Structure 1
Amino acid sequence: MRVRINGGIKDYRTVWYKNGVVNLIDQTKLPHRFEIFRSADFRDTASAIRDMVVRGAPAIGATAAFGMAQAAFWFRSDDFGEFKDYMRDVSEILRSTRPTAYDLFYAVDLMYKILDETNSVKDAKAEIQEKSQKYADESARMCKNIGKIGEKLISKNDRILTHCNAGALACVDYGTAFSPIRFANYNNKDIFVFVDETRPRCQGSQLTAWELLQESIEHTIIVDNAAGHYMKNGEIDLIIVGADRIAVNGDIANKIGTYEKAVLARENSIPFYVAAPISTIDPSCKSGMDIRIEKRKEEEVLYVSGIDDSGNLTRVKISPMGSKARNPAFDVTPAEYITGVITEKGIYKPDEIKREYR
């Protein structure tokens, strides 16, 4: 990911790991400050996932894999039974952080499975270190392929709507829904991007807009309720969103507000694509009805954060004292509203996913 910093441009990954330390671009500080969050303890890494220092299904998956790696790195006993029990506890702590993102569970289980293939603490620790890095590298490669494949759907001068943040910040690099946009820009297609602000945490206006600025891609931020207006007026040609979990029938869970965008897209005959790696498909999830939807704290709705005119980060209450709020983090979009799913292996119709995992 290209980051403009201190008058220059530097490439970063959203998450990286070395010698027991997990490094994350702190997304709670963006777009106003660029800071790196460093964790030498898997519990702090778990908290970073829960508190959305890192977010987005692929990025969460890589962070969880590195959380398993750092827990193994710092373990000091040679007793394999003790090590396996310890890693089981670590895996449960990491799995409990965000219930909807399937990549989290996939990555943790992939690392824990190594313990079934050896009875040596030394060998298991080394294998987890190696496989966690391979997981992150493969995640970046898959997102790059998603971009190259999805870019072919974008025509010159297309006006594209995206929701939430499915860019490099949501992944290890490149992004999912953002990756085709990124490659369309590389190929000089002169695109324009409509960015839903994506309340309540404003991942669109804070994170997607920030990534678009890094790439010098022309864009505008719109309030969530304006998307239908621009669709009806013929100002949007294509919609691309990400996914946190995909059921085998093609239903997808993504950031709250995705479902209404899909319904409006079909009403206005606008192609609606989902971009996600194959690892986001949950073979045990038969339909969207099986997806557990995370409920987050009401404070995220009742308060907003930003910088004041003096440049200070501040948090203010925007609702009456005594009012309550509901805050589901995700919704489910039925397969019937989805034009296609862009993966690293190609573009699938939702019913093709069902046939593959039947």
Structure 2
Amino acid sequence: MTDTFDFDRYDRIRPIRWTGDALELLDQRKLPFTVEYVRCETSDEVAQAIHALTVRGAPAIGIAAAWGVVLAARGVQADDGAQAAERLQAPMQRLHDARPTAVNLAWALARMRRVMAAAGADWREVIEREAKAIADEDLAANRRMGALGAALIEPESGVLTHCNTGSLATAGFGTALGVIRAGFAQGRINRVYAGETRPWLQGARLTVWELQQDGISPILIADSAASHLMKTGAVQWVVVGADRICANGDTANKIGTYQLAIAARHHGVKFMVAAPSSTVDMATASGEAIHIEERDPGEMFALGGVRTAAEDVGAWNPVFDVTPHTLIDAIVTELGVIERPDEAAMRAAFGG
């Protein structure tokens, strides 16, 4: 086993491309069968792409929104950044409202607003550099947290992941999938299970495809098979990402994460959350205060465009759930590892 490896071998996918005059987003709705980029030339097109799940994953959403601000600036005349920030309030609000639960979206917009407000006549160049920095820093953070998270996993382990937390959800390498990539490369992980992740099947469509690109052979399971899988002893860790981590360690993530944490605790399986520090929201005390986005109930009625439910039935379609910190064994960010997270540990790591 080695703690060093070739990052580039396990980091081949880029879901977000800035061309200099447009933002190109890998259309994740069409994967794994069609690899196609959607070209966005306005901030409203970026907002629509975020809402429609063309681009998804909390870090990737934040990066796309930052570039959306750069595109919005194309139509604004301003003498300095403060004036520009005032005139860009409406398109920035539309970007924010596209996916309100993911804290990275608000974080990236606040960061863009802050540097813009402090800039002079060169404010356009300033915000473009900042958008690029947000993407570059995310990639570096993912590689760092991948190494930190992998170090917690014993050799020859099996892991289970949920949703998609890889290069497709970030600037590259991934958060939870970055941990898995690093662990696989080091020989710490020899079996990777991916839950299908209904109703959009991000695990089946995206995670499995991503791992295949890196020569990792994943094992796909139905979401409802997870508890039985843990009972067999095939899994030693559940490794997931996060859309928001609260001041006490409570974590919002894709719907279905909470029940995995419950099952993991019952079966003695460790539970890891891997996410960049930008996902930590110390202003939100606990998961009780998190707004849980609900999407169109119609998403529940079909698979691949083929209706599977009877007509005239209702559905409930929350996109996220909240895992209490008491069920989390480790939170991993690029800044370090917090084991058995609680409010005291979070404040020690991230301040007030």
State the partner residue of 2:333: 343
The reply on whether 1:160 has 2:159 as its aligned counterpart is yes
Q: Is the 8 A contact 2:301 2:307 kept in 1?
A: yes
Deviations 1:307-342 (A, max 9, x none): xxxxxxxx1111000011110000000000000101
Q: Tell me the residue number matched to 1:243.
A: 242
Partner of 2:206: 207
- Partner Cα separation in structure 2 for residue 196 and residue 103 of structure 1: 24
Could you tell me how far apart the structure 1 residues matched to 2:169 and 2:190 are?
A: 21
Q: Deviations over 1:88-133 (max 9, x none)?
A: 1121010000011000000011101123213x4x411110011110
Unpaired runs of 5+ residues, structure 1, are 4-8, 306-314
1:319 lines up with 2:309 in the alignment: yes
* Structure-2 separation of matches of 1:57 and 1:77: 31
Judging changes above 3 Å, is the alpha-carbon distance between structure 1 residues 12 and 265 closer, same or farther for their aligned structure 2 residues?
Answer: closer
Q: Normalising by the residue count of structure 1, what TM-score does the alignment of the two structures yield?
A: 0.91
Aligned to 1:86: 87
Letter in 2 for 1:280: T
1:330 aligns with 2:341: no
What TM-score, normalized to structure 2? 0.93
The answer to whether 1:357 aligns with 2:351 is yes
3-state SS in 2 of match to 1:347: strand
Aligned-residue offset at 1:189 = 4.1
Per the TM alignment, residue 225 of structure 1 is displaced from its structure 2 partner at its CA by 0.7
Q: Distance in 2 between matches of 1:354 and 1:240?
A: 23
Q: Give the Cα–Cα distance (whole angstroms) in 2 for the partners of residues 94 and 78 of structure 1.
A: 20
Q: Quote the RMSD (CA, aligned, Å).
A: 1.8
Aligned to 1:309: none
**Which digits, 9 at most, give the CA deviation of each residue in 1:288-323, with x for residues without a partner?**
011111100111111111xxxxxxxxx111100001
Written as runs of structure 1 = structure 2, the 5 A alignment for 1:235-274 is 235-274=234-273
Contact 2:195 2:221 in 1 (8 A): yes
Distance 2:193 2:153 in 1: 14
Q: What is the distance in 2 between the residues matched to 1:231 and 1:76?
A: 55
Aligned to 1:21: 22
Q: Percent identity?
A: 37
Contact 1:248 1:357 in 2 (8 A): no
Unaligned stretches of 5+ residues in structure 2: 1-6
Deviations 1:60-108 (A, max 9, x none): 0101111111212x12524557633331112101000001100000001
Residue by residue, what CA displacement relative to the aligned partner does 1:263-296 show, whole Å, maximum 9, x if unpaired? 1111111110000011100121010011111100
Structure 1 match to 2:278: 279
| Contact kept in structure 2, 1:75 and 1:83, CA below 8 Å | no
Shift in Å, 1:13: 1.7
Q: How far apart in 1 are the matches of 2:85 and 2:127?
A: 13
Letter in 2 for 1:151: A
SS at 1:100's partner residue? coil
SS at match of 1:153: coil
Q: Secondary structure at the match of 1:11?
A: coil
- What corresponds to 2:169 in structure 1? 170
Say whether the 8 Å CA contact 2:164–2:202 is kept in structure 1: yes
Secondary structure, in 3 states, of the residue corresponding to 2:88? helix
